[in-house]
Amino acid sequence: MRLKGQVALVTGASRGVGKRIALQLAEEGATLVLAARTLSAGQGAYPGSIGETAAEVEKRGGRAMAVRCDLTVVADTENLCRTALERLGGVDILINNAFYNNPQHYNMFLDIDLETWNKCWIGNVLSPIIACRMLLPGMIERRRGIIINLTSPVGWSDTAASGLPGKGGVAATYGTTKAALHRFTHNLAKETGRHGIPAINLDPGFAVTERMEAETTARGGIALTGGHTPDVPGVAVRYLCTCPNPMVFNGRMIYAPDFVLEHALMSELRR
């Protein structure tokens, strides 16, 4: 229970990588603030909700607070952070996991409307920035904290599946906004490092989530062969938040599968 007494805020915690991260941190004793658009079972397009994740946290003996939050709405992100601060006194672990999944996620550039671009910028870039701006002062004051932003290789290079959108690739909105978040994290790390608070980019690798199983291939995305469980990035985050000196990872990009293998965190994972 190495995180007992600490509060962790995880966005996109209704399913997939966010849910697995939340459960891993709960097993270490952290109090969870769970954020997503789907509050209760049956309300979303995919299986899972933050209400269900909270129930699983509590089954493990943990404590969780579910806060419905649409990260494409600035006021929702502000309310999420304000609620965490007012009810729990502060946040020690910030996991910016969520991204804006939209019907144009596999569209060609000329088929993407400007409203989708706007929501991707707010949900994928501005929302994590707002969360950092609101929660970082308390971390600095307490001299304790860690910020982990979920990144993607499409934010800095072509991937092995570098086909056109709808033919194995994703829309320009995703790579462009992930690139912005990636660079923001590196710049932020220079400042947070002065206070002993690491800011880290985490690439979850090819984690096969409920959303991907439900629709990726159907919408023209990459095939799901060769993927791994969302527990892989979950275990990586658990280690980063509990290791003796997380500052050694400040400003770094961690590729979850290799990281888990390097530190022998999951015996069932094979290269």
* From 36-50, 95-109, 125-139, 247-261, the region with the lowest mean pLDDT: 36-50
Contact 34, 13 (CB under 8 A): yes
pLDDT, average across residues 27-56: 90
Instruction: Give SS3 for 230.
Output: coil
As a residue count, the chain comes to 271
Instruction: Give SS3 for 61.
Output: coil
Report pLDDT for 132. 98
147: nearest Cα among 50, 57, 251, 72: 251
Structure tokens at 207: 């984690």
Give the integer Cα–Cα distance in Å for 238 and 146: 12
Report pLDDT for 258. 95
- pLDDT for 211 beyond 70: no
**Domain count along the chain:** 1
User: What's the mean per-residue pLDDT of the chain?
Assistant: 91
Query: Which contiguous run of DSSP H or E holds residue 21?
Result: helix 16-27
Q: What is the CATH number of the domain that holds 161?
A: 3.40.50.720
Report pLDDT for 240. 98
Residue 53 falls inside a structural domain: yes
- pLDDT for 247 beyond 80: yes
> From residue 188, how far is each of 59, 147, 156, 185 by CA, in Å?
36, 10, 17, 5
* From 122-136, 147-161, 178-192, 246-260, the region with the lowest mean pLDDT: 147-161
Q: What is the extent of the structural domain holding 134?
A: 7-262
Q: What is the pLDDT of residues 221-232, one digit of tens each?
A: 566 666 778 899
Residue 203 falls inside a structural domain: yes
136: nearest Cα among 9, 3, 2: 9
Residue 36 falls inside a structural domain: yes
Strand partners, 11: 35
- pLDDT for 13 beyond 90: yes
Structure tokens at 193: 């490092």
Structure tokens at 79: 């309310």
Give the integer Cα–Cα distance in Å for 205 and 189: 22
Give the integer Cα–Cα distance in Å for 45 and 33: 22
Residue 2 falls inside a structural domain: no
| 63-68/31-36 β-pairing | parallel
Residue 267 falls inside a structural domain: no
- pLDDT for 171 beyond 80: yes
Using a 10 angstrom Cβ sphere, with 0-12 exposed, 13-18 middle and 19 or more buried, the burial of residue 146 is: buried
- pLDDT for 96 beyond 80: yes
Question: What is the share, in percent, of the chain residues with pLDDT greater than 70?
Answer: 89
Residue 269 falls inside a structural domain: no
Q: What is the pLDDT of residues 69-79, one digit of tens each?
A: 999 999 999 99
Give the integer Cα–Cα distance in Å for 122 and 136: 19
Residue 270 falls inside a structural domain: no
Give the integer Cα–Cα distance in Å for 4 and 46: 32
- pLDDT for 153 beyond 90: no
- pLDDT for 160 beyond 60: no
Alpha helices in 151-230 (DSSP H): 172-192, 210-211
Q: Count the Cβ atoms, other than its own, within 10 Å of residue 59.
A: 10
Instruction: Give SS3 for 106.
Output: coil
Instruction: Give SS3 for 271.
Output: coil
Residue 268 falls inside a structural domain: no
Using a 10 angstrom Cβ sphere, with 0-12 exposed, 13-18 middle and 19 or more buried, the burial of residue 187 is: exposed
Name the pLDDT band for 216 (thresholds 50, 70, 90). Answer: low
pLDDT, average across residues 12-17: 94
pLDDT, average across residues 231-249: 97
Using a 10 angstrom Cβ sphere, with 0-12 exposed, 13-18 middle and 19 or more buried, the burial of residue 77 is: buried
pLDDT, average across residues 19-29: 96
